Amino acid sequence: MISNAIGRRIEDLERLSPPLTARPDLEAYWDETIASFAVKPLNATRTRVDTPFFDMSVYKVSYEGFDDTPIHGWYLVPRKAEETREKVPCVVLYHGYTGSRGYPEDYASFVLMGVAVFAIDVRGQNGETGNLLAQHHGMAKGWITQGILHRDTCYYKAITIDAIKALDWASEQPEVDPGRICAQGASQGGGLALIAAALSDKPAIAVAHIPNMCQMDFGILNSSSSLSEAATFCERFPEHLDAVLETLSYYDNMNLAHRIRIPLFVSVGLKDPTTMPETIYAAYNRMACDKRIVPSPFSGHTVTGDQNRQAMAFISEWLL
């Protein structure tokens, strides 16, 4: 028995097992959805761009995911691997809510490891990527309540398919070893990394830092994150609460946790009011894969240097 408060807090989180919110057709729904999008063409382009970093080659990429929206990304390759035609691992990166893919030089640490990178914009947010998703009802401020009244029209479906198609694109690149791909992200990106790991056969491992999209019924009630937008929507339209909760259940990593079979690294901050530790552990505890979680007792919604370093070591351990 651990006698200090920190240890007891972690022990309590490790025992969490809230009831699933999955609908009976969850498995069939995703099997049919993934099969239907598998044949959708990427219609991708990649164009070389300049970088001040001599040891990496950078390409600007555009591809199509859920619909005809061009999803923009940066593709980085170690120049040495490109010259020798050596196939290298690739990390596919998803950013946090309201963010963007940023600049290619932001990912140089991966290239130093000898790893390629594909970092994408999440549609409609603070990057170059737009959003052609149809809207048939008013929204709360932000993006996640777009189409939220049905599983097939919602923003979560669009960004989930976009994320999966990013893995497809990476797996087809001549410089990439398709058997050594990592899905990675933080916050919103961590949630996308988890759902991609659950639904795609492309990643060999996944890294989910402080992931969102976990136990979303708890999140909509308590979180200060993007799910507060869904709470605002339901406050305005209380008659739609059941429909919103049903939609979210199809994208909840707690309900999809059993489908993750690849090695997984997760980080969590015990003082995080955004992706609360209760939600992350609710999903993590249901995973039956080779998994590792690194809690930071004193962190909020951030990834500590130690957590990031351990994640890089995890990638090296499994892919290099």
User: What is the pLDDT at residue 309?
Assistant: 97
User: What is the pLDDT at residue 315?
Assistant: 98
What structural domains does the chain harbor?
27-319 (3.40.50.1820)
Catalytic positions: 187, 272, 301
Beta bridge partners of 59: 48, 75
Q: Identify the sign of the CA torsion 240, 131, 303, 308.
A: positive
Q: Give 195-250 pLDDT, tens digit per residue.
A: 999 999 999 999 999 999 999 999 999 988 899 999 999 999 999 999 999 999 99
- By the 10 Å C-beta count (0-12 exposed, 13-18 middle, 19+ buried), 27 is classed as middle
- What is the DSSP pairing of strand 205-209 with strand 264-269? parallel
User: Residue 282 in contact with residue 18, Cβ under 8 Å?
Assistant: yes
Does the pLDDT of residue 2 top 90, yes or no? no
* Overall average pLDDT of the 64-91 stretch: 96
User: What is the pLDDT at residue 225?
Assistant: 84
State pTM to two decimals: 0.97
Q: Over the chain, what is the mean pLDDT? A: 97
Q: Which of 100, 91, 120, 97 is nearest to 184 (CA)?
A: 91
User: What is the pLDDT at residue 3?
Assistant: 76
Does the pLDDT of residue 1 top 90, yes or no? no
Q: Give 50-71 pLDDT, tens digit per residue.
A: 999 999 999 999 999 999 999 9
Integer CA distances (angstroms), 168 to 21, 27, 164, in order: 29, 21, 7
Q: Identify the sign of the CA torsion 167, 274, 300, 252.
A: negative
Residue 87 to residue 183: CA distance in whole angstroms: 18
Residue 147 to residue 140: CA distance in whole angstroms: 11
* Overall average pLDDT of the 266-278 stretch: 97
User: What is the pLDDT at residue 223?
Assistant: 84
- Chain-centroid distance of CA 297 in Å reads 23
Q: Give 125-171 pLDDT, tens digit per residue.
A: 999 999 999 999 999 999 999 999 999 999 999 999 999 999 999 99
Q: What is the largest CA-CA distance in the chain?
A: 61
User: What is the pLDDT at residue 194?
Assistant: 98
User: What is the pLDDT at residue 126?
Assistant: 96
